[in-house]
C-alpha cells in the first residue's frame, strides 16, 4: 500500500482539499447567481459568492484583502443591490401574472 505522506505532506493535502472545496462553492454560487429566476435569490447567491471569495483570500493569508472584501462587497455593494431589488416596483405584467 502506498502511503500518501511520503509524496505529499498531509497539511498540503488538507489545504488542497479546502481550496478545492472553496473553489467549487464559488463556482456553484456563481452559476446559481446567473441562472436563478428569482432576482432576490440571485442577489443572495451573489453575496454568498462574495463571502466564499473573502474566505479564499483569508485562507491564502491575504487577511486585509479578505476583510476589505467583506466590508466593501458584502457590506456595501451587496446590501445596496438587495435594497435596490426590494425597493423597485413590479411591472404591470408581473402584477397581472401573480394576481
How open is the CA angle 41-63-11, to the nearest 5 degrees? 95
**What pLDDT sits at residue 23?**
95
Q: What is the mean pLDDT of each run of 10 residues along the chain (99 residues)?
A: 66 89 96 90 90 92 92 86 79 59
**CA–CA dist 49, 41 (Å, integer):** 12
User: Could you tell me if 46 and 15 are in contact, meaning their C-beta atoms sit under 8 angstroms apart?
Assistant: no
- Sorted by where each starts, the structural domains of the chain and their CATH numbers stand as 2-94 (1.20.120.1200)
- The pTM (predicted TM-score) of the whole model is 0.75
**CA–CA dist 40, 56 (Å, integer):** 25
90: DSSP letter: P
Contacting residues for 57 by C-beta, under 8 A, at least 6 apart: 63, 65, 66, 69
Amino acid at each position: 500500500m502506498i502511503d500518501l505522506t511520503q509524496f505529499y505532506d498531509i497539511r498540503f493535502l488538507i489545504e488542497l482539499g479546502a481550496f478545492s472545496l472553496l473553489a467549487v462553492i464559488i463556482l456553484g454560487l456563481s452559476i446559481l447567481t446567473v441562472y436563478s429566476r428569482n432576482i432576490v435569490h440571485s442577489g443572495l447567491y451573489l453575496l454568498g459568492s462574495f463571502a466564499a471569495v473573502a474566505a479564499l483570500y483569508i485562507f491564502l493569508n491575504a487577511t486585509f484583502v479578505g476583510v476589505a472584501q467583506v466590508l466593501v462587497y458584502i457590506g456595501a455593494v451587496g446590501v445596496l443591490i438587495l435594497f435596490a431589488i426590494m425597493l423597485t416596483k413590479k411591472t404591470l405584467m408581473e402584477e397581472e401574472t401573480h394576481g
